[in-house]
Structure 1
Amino acid sequence: MSSPKHPTASAQRGAPAGAPTRITQGSQTRGAIGESTLRPDGTLKVTGEFAYSSDLWHEDMLWGQILRSPVAHAEIVSIDTAEALATPGVYAVLTHDDLPTEVKNYGLEIRDTPVLAYGKVRHHGEPVAVVAAAHPETARRAAAKIKVEYRELPVITDEASATAPGAVLVHEHRTDHHVGHVPHPNIVHRQPIVRGDAAAAARRADVIVRGEYTFGMQDQAFLGPESGLAVPEEDGGVHLYVATQWLHSDLRQIAPVLGLPEDKVRMTLAGVGGAFGGREDLSMQIHACLLALRTGKPVKIVYNRFESFFGHVHRHPAKLYYEHGATHDGRLTHLKCRIVLDGGAYASASPAVVGNAASLSVGPYVVDDVDIEAIALYTNNPPCGAMRGFGAVQACFAYEAQMDKLAKKLGMDPVEFRQRNAMEQGTIMPTGQPVDSPAPVAELLRRVKAMPLPPERQWESSEGADVRQLPGGLSNTTHGEGVVRGIGYAVGIKNVGFSEGFDDYSTARVRLEAVAGEPVATVHTAMAEVGQGGVTVHAQIARTELGVAQVTIRPADTQVGSAGSTSASRQTYVTGGAVRHACEQVRERVLELGRRRFGSYHPAWATAELLLEGGKVVTDGGEVLADLAEVLGDEAVEVEDEWRHRPTEPFDLRTGQGNGHVQYSFAAHRAVVEVDTELGLVKVVELACAQDVGKALNPLSVVGQIQGGTTQGLGVAVMEEIVVDPRTAKVRNPSFTDYLIPTILDTPTIPVDVLELADDHAPYGLRGVGEAPTLSSTPAVLAAIRDATGLELNRTPVRPEHLTGTA
């Protein structure tokens, strides 16, 4: 199939083929807030017609390729690019020495990540040089010809090696704002939380349980690898079409390295094939722009899967040390815990992950006396940062295992024990912040426990065993011999939105005009649509607030103010709130326009009791005053405005006290598993979930988010882990051949019970949805496996050797 020589007709003017097109939602996909509305991009995606960033094309574009370090920690003695530059078809080879400005590093919070390594490399796969060539294979061959001499250094891989006397420093010259409050330069950030007197409370406890837990490194495993296209502009700037989670954060980091003002770095969101936190950090963005500016030609970079494992951050692996106490009647007395997160070679989002892990380490329970410490390390392991659940996932795995241990020691039902200690509205968090919206933890547990259990021995039929229903599946390892069922429960708490005093806001531009006699609303934000369904919700909000059927969602770009990151379950809350706020202002201006035009002969226009509904201007009594298109005439009403939720504040660095979070979300799971105890194989039969979503703006999308988050939690419970060699810090399984993710055959039935208890502080009463189910699904699966086997199982993922005693 030949490649197009010019931008396709569907692309924006001046944009490369494959660039995002405007999505119009009209009569075929009607729906207001609270209705299940189909995604406008859904059919395109399932038929393979949707243009992802990897589909971008420009007539005269070059291909970029990155050379990565084969070692985890080493001095760079020399780099020789002569042979690569001499390769026919190569247009440029860049190393650190070729960067155009004195700004050589970037970073989300701490600018500690080199654009291209200089002095030394700090992790396996770190970018060292970039190549632009006329063909992708030429670029790859040329990159392989670059000669780099390394002098290897000792590797830092865990807390012991990071903080030992005389330990090698991962970053020798730290100057960031965290360095003053950490006990060692190889610690990125430390957050204690102290409330009450945990030591005194421990002496009052009738039972005490302790546990040491290990949480493996998980990959976001999005299906569309990193990719983008940088196009040089005539004014000396560059236009980057890219799959990302936060356009304006990328812009803030890219422009200084290029030596360009931000208005000369234009960014447009290209089709994103999933994100889950892995696209918050930069990957190929700066490299593509550098090559485009150097060569004067468009440059496209597309990672293969191997490169993708090295090109983005992962979920922090963790060691968690917990102690809980309780009275004989099942009341929690205290918590002591220490959480050690491995941040890898660069900071990324580690400071914020530490804050989340510490502040949510108690879980959704009432515990008055706590002594908590969370830290993140600098090591030579792969960099870790944002991933769905963001620090709360690791903590939930540990505290839910502790709840089961306590219940067992007290002889109590594990659900009843959790309900007895469940937080509710008005509970004071360990940080001193009151929970000022519904917290239906006990009710979610009741609901999930009340769901019907799946039938036992589902693999049996009159025609023989259906091996797909058994542990081992189509490998046909058993027909039911040695298979034991287990049931487990878990519940979790997740914050919504950015926390700890971050100025978290979003911007929306809404335009209302008459087109061919029909009112049409246009919504323009910089929100990254990564699969969460914001393009649907924004249209639903516009229909609800403006009473129109036709809504056009413009492509996300930096020609409108920042929408923040598509992460922290914040976009529906914050950008949805911005769209609603802008719509309200548009509505008021339209009504004022009507008052000016018609008020002289209709007294109702002079009142403030006017509404827009179904393309009509009506009073609150239902009297139709005019068609909306008639009111607008040839005029268009447009508003761009920022919207902020209530402010937060940083946690105190000594006590951890502070109103650090905006909102909390809650989900509970019941897992049903069947375990082949002889071979150590696990079949998750069902993962039932009950979750409070505040208000389901699009119920169909809400259920999809819950089921997706649940499946990711299943993956880390029984199969997903990036394996890093502890001696060399090299990644051993950077592919989907060796890094396993759940397929349709692994995914269980996921019944969902959606509870809607409105948060009065949020637009429409909504809560963020996507992250909470990722927390509780993992410990629920582990609890069910423990129930089936009687084993302690204090690490993820559970492997067959852990169940058969051969580990």
Structure 2
Amino acid sequence: MTDTTDTGTTRAGTTRTGTTETGTTYTGTPVTGVGESARRPDATLKVTGEFAYASDLWLDGMVWGATLRSPHPSAWIRSIDVGPALRIPGVFAVLTHEDVPGEKFYGLEHKDQPVLAIDQVRYQGEPVALVGADHPETARRAAAAIVVEYEPREAITDPRLSQHFVRHQPVRRGDTFEAEVVVTGEYEVGMQDQAFLGPESGLAVPAEDGGVDLYIATQWLHVDRDQLAPCLGLPPDKVRLTLSGVGGAFGAREDLSMQVHACMLALRLNRPVKIVYGREESFFGHVHRHPARMRYEHGATRDGRLVYVKADILLDGGAYCSSSPAVVGNAASLGVGPYEVPNVRVDATGVYTNNPPCGAMRGFGAVQACYAYESQMDRLAEACGLSPIEVRVRNAVSQGSRLITGQLIDAPAPLAEMLRDLEAMPLPAAEPARDLRGLPGGVSQTTHGESVRRGVGYGVGIKNICFSEGFDDYSTARVRAELVGGEPHVTVHTAAAEVGQGLVTVQAQIARTELGVENVTVAAADTSVGSAGSSSASRQSYVTGGAVKAACEAVRKRFEGLPAAEALARFGPIEETREYRHRPTYPMDPLTGQGDSHTQLALCVHRAVVDVDVELGLVKVVELAAVQDVGRILNPQALEGQIHGGSAQGLGLALMEEIQVRDGRVLNPSFTDYLIPTILDMPPMTMKIMENPDPSAPYGLRGAGEPPTLSSTPAIAAAVRAATGLRLTRVPIRPEDIALFDSGTFRGDTFDEGSMDSTKGESDDKRA
């Protein structure tokens, strides 16, 4: 299968058409700079199984660590007896909160999370004690032998009942909240897991200077270090982190997991300590996407132009803060989508509960809001007698528009053009699939085409790129040029985490472009060079790419106009270090939500075509089409992979992915019961990739990894609605939401008492 990619270059007024370079064979090491599909240096190792991930680390004489976790979502700890564990042969140490050598709490934004539970546990899976042993099975058996006396207490698991707020962020604009057409609705998004392939893992090695060296799979080396050092009672320069092979992240590795536990055991035993979570423990060992409950009201003129939007967005942050304040900020500022709305009353709130902690996941607050506001735009289209495309075009932002926060969109934002391009893309053939793999239910042969209906839906998403609200967002790069064997060679060193997105490849491409040197090595990321921030918020190509570019420019300046080989022969090795910062951002006003809170904005639009067996409730996504503006393409093949991957995670949220939590307890902590899309679930994708450079960004690029995750979910949900005629106000959509009905009133339409929306399949529209 070949995916077509149309790349439009607005400045030149031209369009070039190409194909995805999947399966291309490379020989030698071609000079591949910015704009080319440079081959990933880790590609062959990963597909052959030879790549070394953090879970593959090994040192002779190392100790294995294991964690005892709470079985209760909320309880007092009355006593901990470690004696039975210590009596097991092969056990070297058992640690509790009393053994934490420094500060007992850590956290990304607020230090509210204990290294080990002290007097209480606040969620199922909270770490209570650590074991170090000569074998992983021995360590796990010893952890199970620790006797903890708990006094369970009532858990707060419904976020609507929580009185403990992480953040409340209003957005206020205008004062007109009456309109000719009004549509209302309540929406819910389930708890999604990042579902990365490589579980949490790392190796801590005690050092001769009394410090510790940690080899770790993470997203954010320096912030890991800055949280670790106080807990270990060490200065930051004695806690050294090196990035090991990372098997995916998607936000879940921004927070600490086993880092401080491995280091505590290593320092106590003066031996290397390795901790690797199993898959079930991984579900308890990292944060998840915030579940959300949202109430929306859209008011518009009869011809579909928005007059006002009201929204209440409630995000369940779980037991600890993590990055919930920033997630709330994104949900608030992007809460009505990329539409011009003169009057806004948005309230986004994050609360603490005794559910699993939630934090960063691809899309970071914007995903939840996108599902709700896009569902509302479809209802508005229906109420006004417009097509889903037309209602969006009539309200689309463009360059010169303002967000609901008052921030000016000062870079290209061709949303209307993107929607028209999407609408013009040919639809897949209408005839039913002959291959079982193309039918709802697939090879399980649950259907042969009976009761299958087709639906088409659209989704639009807007995502902030880079960190927001005044965060000091920067990256550091050190670039060294020298002669090796008589040939110019460049080494690029940053602390930026390669988590599978291809950042190592992009750094090398930038160095080749700026210095004209073929041989480039990207050194292992570690804390011996300045911070590069987190591999999140679609920011690394922007900030680390900017830092590498700036350092290369400084090196090239010292070439004094000579070719690299001649300059290095004359001057010797040349090394430069540069920090790169994007333009400043500012906190949102706590009362009005106004302010220039974001660095850059990115748009993606999706069309989904689905086949639904309305009797069995099974869905097959037949096709996804996407149009995305990326500013400037740095690596076409890697970019297309990001769009495919983001779309797949959006498909998962739409149809299958949800951590089932009942009374604070996780019911499905395995890939047997937590379902993620496979290659059989992902349809062929048609993509048009536009290049409208952002003048404020390096090379004009625009972060591209997250936007597809936003818009694919509502597009698929809309397509299922079109096929079934159901309102379907919750994702993921379950088979029973589609298949079970009674006398024409569908289960998927029912709301709690007091809902803003109708309990029938009819739109609750009001006309003045």
Aligned residue for 1:729? 664
1:680 aligns with 2:617: yes
Shift of 1:633: 3.8
CA contact (8 A) 1:26 1:549 kept: no
Task: Return the match for 1:772 from 700, 707, 711.
Answer: 707
In structure 1, the residue matched to 2:23 is none
Question: Partner of 2:665: helix, strand, or coil?
Answer: coil
Conserved in 1, the CA contact under 8 Å of 2:159 and 2:315?
no
Check the 8 A contact 2:65/2:130 in 1, yes or no.
yes
Report deviation, 1:160: 3.4
Matching residue's letter, 1:640: T
Contact 1:721/1:739, CA 8 A, preserved across alignment: yes
Alignment of structure 1 residues 461-480 onto 2, 5 Å: 466-480=435-449
**Per-residue deviation, 1:517:** 1.7
Q: Is the counterpart of residue 499 in structure 1 residue 468 in structure 2?
A: yes
Q: Distance in 1 between matches of 2:564 and 2:673?
A: 61
Instruction: Give the ranges of 4+ consecutive aligned residues of structure 1 lying more than 2 Å apart after TM superposition.
Output: 626-634
Percent identity of the aligned residues?
A: 64
Q: 1:661 aligns with which of 595, 598, 601?
A: 598
Residue in 2 that maps onto 1:92: 93
Q: Which amino acid aligns with 1:117?
A: A
Secondary structure in 1 matching 2:331:
helix
For residue 195 of structure 1, report the CA deviation from its aligned partner: 0.8
Partner of 2:13: none
Find the counterpart in structure 1 of residue 696 from structure 2. Answer: 761
Give the corresponding residue for 1:323. Answer: 297
Equivalence map 1:108-507=2 (5 Å): 108-163=108-163, 186-197=164-175, 200=176, 202-203=177-178, 205-460=179-434, 466-507=435-476
Aligned equivalents of 1:29 and 1:257: distance in 2?
47
C-alpha distance in structure 2 between counterparts of 1:381 and 1:118, whole Å:
18
| Residues 188 and 378 in structure 1, CA contact (< 8 A), matched pair in contact too | yes
In structure 2, how many angstroms separate the alpha carbons of the residues matched to 1:328 and 1:83? 73
Task: Determine which of 638, 643, 652 is the counterpart of 2:589.
Answer: 652
- CA separation of 1:630 and 1:418: change in aligned 2, threshold 3 A: closer
For residues 292 and 417 of structure 1, the distance between their equivalents in structure 2, rounded to whole angstroms, comes to 60
> SS of 2:162's equivalent?
helix
Which residue is equivalent to 2:45? 44
Aligned length in residues = 717
Query: By how many angstroms is 1:628 displaced?
Result: 2.6
- Determine if the alignment matches structure 1 residue 794 to structure 2 residue 739: no
Letter in 2 for 1:81: V
Structure 1 residue 630: Cα displacement: 5.1
Hey, what does 1:641 align to over in structure 2?
578
Between the aligned partners of 1:443 and 1:59, the Cα distance in structure 2 is 60
Measure how far apart 1:444 and its partner are: 1.3
Mapped partners of 2:41, 2:686: distance in 1: 25
- In the other structure, the counterpart of 1:181 is none
Query: Which AA in structure 1 matches 2:145?
Result: K
Q: What is aligned with 1:74?
A: 75
State yes or no: 1:564 paired with 2:527.
no
8 Å CA contact retained: 1:514, 1:633: no
Distance apart, 1:631 and its partner CA: 4.4
Match of 1:176? Answer: none
Contact 1:415 1:445 in 2 (8 A): yes
Q: 1:512 aligns with which of 458, 481, 491?
A: 481
Letter in 1 for 2:209: D
The alignment partner of 1:751 has SS state of strand
What is the CA RMSD across the aligned residues, in angstroms? 1.1
SS in 2 for 1:489: strand
| CA shift digits 1:561-594 (9 cap, x unpaired) | 0000000000000000000001111111221xxx
Contact 1:497-1:663 within 8 A present in 2 as well? yes
2:653 counterpart of 1:716 = yes
- Provide the C-alpha distance between the structure 1 equivalents of 2:144 and 2:569, rounded to a whole number of angstroms: 62
The Cα of 1:632 is off from its aligned counterpart by 3.4
Indicate the residue corresponding to 1:8 in structure 2. none
Q: CA deviation at 1:235?
A: 0.9
Partner AA of 1:672 in structure 2: V
Distance 1:713 1:633, change over 3 A: same
C-alpha distance in 2 between matches for 1:802 and 1:29: 53
Letter in 2 for 1:47: T
Amino acid at match of 1:675: V
Indicate conservation of the 8 Å contact 2:646/2:706, yes or no.
Answer: yes
Listed one character per residue, the Cα deviations across residues 131-188 of structure 1 (whole Å, up to 9, x for unaligned) are 000000000110010000000111111233213xxxxxxxxxxxxxxxxxxxxxx011
Structure 1 unmatched runs, 5+: 1-24, 164-185, 461-465, 592-609, 611-616, 618-625
Does residue 696 (structure 1) correspond to residue 628 (structure 2)? The answer is no
Rounded to whole Å, the distance in 2 between the matches of 1:350 and 1:564 is 18
**Which letter does structure 2 place at the counterpart of 1:656?**
G
Given that 1:590 and 1:632 are in contact with CA atoms closer than 8 Å, whether structure 2 keeps it comes out as: no
Q: TM-score if structure 2 supplies the norm length?
A: 0.92
| Counterparts of 1:629 and 1:189, CA distance in 2 | 58
Aligned-partner Cα distance in 2 for 1:564–1:546:
25
Amino acid at match of 1:62: V
Gaps of 5+ in 2: 1-25, 742-746, 748-768
Structure 2 letter corresponding to 1:749: P
Corresponding residue for residue 106 of structure 2: 106
Q: State the secondary structure of the residue aligned to 1:28.
A: coil
Separation in 2, partners of 1:359, 1:261: 38
Partners of 2:482 and 2:568 within 8 A in 1: no
Give the Å deviation of 1:458: 4.4
Name the CA distance, whole Å, in 2 between partners of 1:560 and 1:458. Answer: 57
